[in-house]
Amino acid sequence: MRLRLTPKETSFYELFAKAADNLVVGAGLLTELLGADKAGRADIAGRMRDAEHVSDEITHDIYRQLNSSFITPFDREDIYMLASLLDDVMDEMDAAADLVSLYQIEELPDGVADQVDVLVRAADLTAEAMPRLRTMKDMQDYWIEVNRLENQADQVYRRLLAHLFSGEFDAITVLKLKEVVETLEQAADGFEHVANTIETIAVKES
Amino acid sequence: MRLRLTPKETSFYELFAKAADNLVVGAGLLTELLGADKAGRADIAGRMRDAEHVSDEITHDIYRQLNSSFITPFDREDIYMLASLLDDVMDEMDAAADLVSLYQIEELPDGVADQVDVLVRAADLTAEAMPRLRTMKDMQDYWIEVNRLENQADQVYRRLLAHLFSGEFDAITVLKLKEVVETLEQAADGFEHVANTIETIAVKES
Amino acid sequence: MRLRLTPKETSFYELFAKAADNLVVGAGLLTELLGADKAGRADIAGRMRDAEHVSDEITHDIYRQLNSSFITPFDREDIYMLASLLDDVMDEMDAAADLVSLYQIEELPDGVADQVDVLVRAADLTAEAMPRLRTMKDMQDYWIEVNRLENQADQVYRRLLAHLFSGEFDAITVLKLKEVVETLEQAADGFEHVANTIETIAVKES
């Protein structure tokens, strides 16, 4: 008699790693968006929509796996929460690209590049941290750094608002830009929510 | 010796069903609001306030029951969370009706009817799903459909913002309408939060 | 043989009390801000920043203690959540003071004093409730009162928005004031989130 080999299934760790890698793709598309003209923007918004669909699929894969697994590496509701928060970040990035294209925004103020820069670094940190989920080793540094980045994002965001309100822009342009800038700020918040959830899991396991 | 009959108490399931039915009432009032003149709006906002009080009472009934029950059908904190999230949706619907009346808004742009339509359907779905809480059967369809509706609400919302920013409205009118439109969007988000919490409960029980 | 005296460590209860006392300081600074001129405002924003750093340190002390404790007075994730929500309130107060200074706002409309008044009372109630965390006695009154205050804050907030949109202010001034008013509203929401989390803990323990 032989041991039945179960078909290799993708582990939760691999799915979370894929979700985080996809956020690196999203942050990269936001960087491209900064330098693009109007035609380029529509194309980038389209590719962002594709990345958002990939994110939805990974999230559903995690949920499906969750419903068919008797044993999970950590609490079921934390797996659910983490999957859902990673997907939220992608949704915000997608919304930002969609709004820039939809509102026919002429020019993005300088600070937006700083916001995107924070998102690129937060995405990289998150993707680098995911393989460490298995051992929960060295998670403290990731968590502290993402929280530091989020504080920095807050500062950039408030300075950007002050710039928008400086009188340089007409009220409707202010409203459009504010919507974009807020959406990017929510993406930065989203990375912090992911990091906080991982911290909560680490606290439970400790 | 006879079995002592415990005085029939309203079960958690019945209270959640009442809370969801009340959201159907709220969504119906929003539909009435769309076709009402200014006098009608004040009357509808008043009836919405009544529905909001009913929601508060149901929520408190659930909390009171929770504090006096030794055994609960699912985790105490999930019962608490679900009650609180159902109440949040009512609060947003009430806020929307209040704002339309308070800001003396002349005319609501077309897309608002699409937002309200999504809320009516989400309320109906939620009310239909509540009796299935007992068995947690066929919850997947409810959850997928509410999430689909919320994605649709997002699209409607962004198109509405683009319309508000099109130059057709003066800046102050844009700000007023944006507040109403955002509040309705938060009500749609609220239905998704309810569905996600029910999904989390289902995941724990599975 | 003598019992080894363990070095006295600050308990979770004391740390939560310190965090809540710090919110009383923050609410007091907001009251000062209302009567200050521009030079005074920058000074107050600086002292608020100091209070915000104190809050960060207390939060980290709680996390550190959490990671080194085998036994905790209630669930680890609830301690984590409560610490994080208390810190959130401080962040909103700090943001409000920063924005008033940053936007060079000339005059704050009357309703802002009502918002700050609610925050002062919510901070006092929270600080008074913290010593009762140990026994969870008489928490119901605290929780009901904070929720009542938050409903009141909602009313003040909506009336303030209606005033901002009345035509008295130009659009950019409306946007600046709206940002301040929203941040104060989020601080009031934050006190409710703290109270709700304490209620959830009480529900679990009951």
pLDDT band at C203; cut points 50, 70, 90: confident
Give yes or no for residue C1 having a pLDDT over 90. Answer: no
The pLDDT score that the predictor gives to residue C7 is 44
How do residues B122-175 score in pLDDT, each as one tens digit?
A: 999 999 999 999 888 888 899 889 999 998 998 899 899 999 999 899 999 999
How do residues C141-164 score in pLDDT, each as one tens digit?
A: 998 899 999 989 988 998 999 999
How do residues B39-75 score in pLDDT, each as one tens digit?
A: 899 999 999 999 999 999 999 899 888 878 888 888 8
C30, part of any domain: yes
DSSP of chain A: --PPPPPP---HHHHHHHHHHHHHHHHHHHHHHHT--HHHHHHHHHHHHHHHHHHHHHHHHHHHHHHH-SS-SS-HHHHHHHHHHHHHHHHHHHHHHHHHHHTT-S---THHHHHHHHHHHHHHHHHHHGGGGGTTTTHHHHHHHHHHHHHHHHHHHHHHHHHHTTSSS-HHHHHHHHHHHHHHHHHHHHHHHHHHHHHHHHHHH-
DSSP of B171-193: HHHHHHHHHHHHHHHHHHHHHHH
User: Are residues C176 and C112 in contact, defined by beta-carbon separation less than 8 angstroms?
Assistant: no
**CA gap A200, C81 in Å, rounded:** 9
A92, part of any domain: yes
Q: Is the dihedral of CA A67, A70, A71, A76 positive or negative?
A: positive
Is A103 in contact with B165 (Cβ distance < 8 A)? Answer: yes
Which residues 132-191 on chain C approach chain A with CB closer than 8 angstroms? 171-172, 175-176, 179
**CA gap C185, C162 in Å, rounded:** 15
Instruction: Find the residue in A nearest to C98 (Cα).
Output: A158
Q: What separation in angstroms does the CA of C77 have from each of A204, B164, B201, C67?
A: 7, 42, 18, 11
3-state secondary structure string across A87-134: HHHHHHHHHHHHHHHHCCCCCCCCHHHHHHHHHHHHHHHHHHHHHHHH
Work out the mean pLDDT of chain C and round it to a whole number: 90
Give yes or no for residue C3 having a pLDDT over 60. Answer: no
Is C203 in contact with B80 (Cβ distance < 8 A)? Answer: yes
Q: Which residues of B touch C174 (CB under 8 A)?
A: 171-172, 175
User: Are residues B144 and B198 in contact, defined by beta-carbon separation less than 8 angstroms?
Assistant: no
The pLDDT score that the predictor gives to residue C201 is 86
Of A158, A164, A200, the CB nearest to C99: A158
Return per-residue pLDDT of chain A as tens, 206 residues. 444 444 445 689 999 999 999 999 999 999 999 999 888 999 999 999 999 999 999 998 998 888 788 888 888 888 988 999 999 999 999 999 999 988 988 889 989 999 999 999 999 999 999 999 988 888 889 988 999 999 899 889 999 999 999 989 999 999 999 999 999 999 999 999 999 899 888 877 76
| The total number of structural domains that make up chain A | 1
Which residues 186-205 on chain C approach chain B with CB closer than 8 angstroms? 196, 199-200, 203-204
Work out the mean pLDDT of chain B and round it to a whole number: 90
Q: 3-class DSSP state for residue B150?
A: helix
Across residues C1-27, what is the average pLDDT? Answer: 78
C37, part of any domain: yes
How do residues B76-135 score in pLDDT, each as one tens digit?
A: 888 988 999 999 999 999 999 999 998 988 889 989 999 999 999 999 999 999 999 988
Of B174, B196, B200, the CB nearest to A172: B174
**CA gap C109, C178 in Å, rounded:** 11
Q: Which domain holds residue C94?
A: 12-205
Across residues B10-39, what is the average pLDDT? Answer: 94
C1, part of any domain: no
B4, part of any domain: no
Question: Tokens 């009817």 appear where?
Answer: B113
The pLDDT score that the predictor gives to residue B66 is 85
Across residues C124-153, what is the average pLDDT? Answer: 91
Phi-psi region of A179 (alpha: psi -120 to 50; beta: other; left: phi over 0): alpha
Is residue C190 within a helix (H) or strand (E), and if so which, with residue range?
helix C171-205
Across residues C177-190, what is the average pLDDT? Answer: 96
Q: What is the largest CA-CA distance in chain C?
A: 80
C2, part of any domain: no
CA distance C187 to chain A (A): 16
The pLDDT score that the predictor gives to residue A140 is 86
Q: What separation in angstroms does the CA of C135 have from each of A194, B93, C194, C204?
A: 33, 38, 17, 13
B87, part of any domain: yes
How do residues C84-113 score in pLDDT, each as one tens digit?
A: 999 999 999 999 999 999 898 888 998 999
Examine the predicted complex and report whether its ipTM is higher than 0.85: no
The pLDDT score that the predictor gives to residue C53 is 92
Domain of residue C16, CATH code: 1.20.58.220
Is residue B101 within a helix (H) or strand (E), and if so which, with residue range?
helix B76-102
Q: Which residues of C touch A206 (CB under 8 A)?
A: 66-67, 76
CA distance B100 to chain C (A): 10
The pLDDT score that the predictor gives to residue B206 is 66
**CA gap A151, C94 in Å, rounded:** 12
CA distance C92 to chain A (A): 11
Is B196 in contact with A102 (Cβ distance < 8 A)? Answer: no
Across residues C41-59, what is the average pLDDT? Answer: 94
* Nearest by Cα to A90 from A9, A21, A38: A21
Instruction: Provide the CB-side half-sphere exposure for A195 (13 A, CA).
Output: 28
Is A165 in contact with C175 (Cβ distance < 8 A)? Answer: yes
The pLDDT score that the predictor gives to residue A8 is 46
The pLDDT score that the predictor gives to residue C10 is 67
Q: What separation in angstroms does the CA of C73 have from each of A119, C11, C65, C128, C133?
A: 37, 10, 12, 19, 10
Give yes or no for residue B10 having a pLDDT over 90. Answer: no
CA distance C1 to chain A (A): 33
pLDDT band at B9; cut points 50, 70, 90: low
Range in A76-90, B3-17, C56-70, C119-133 with the lowest mean pLDDT: B3-17
C189, part of any domain: yes
Q: In angstroms, how far is CA A1 from the centroid of its own chain?
A: 48
Which tokens is B174 given? Answer: 């844009």
Across residues B5-28, what is the average pLDDT? Answer: 85
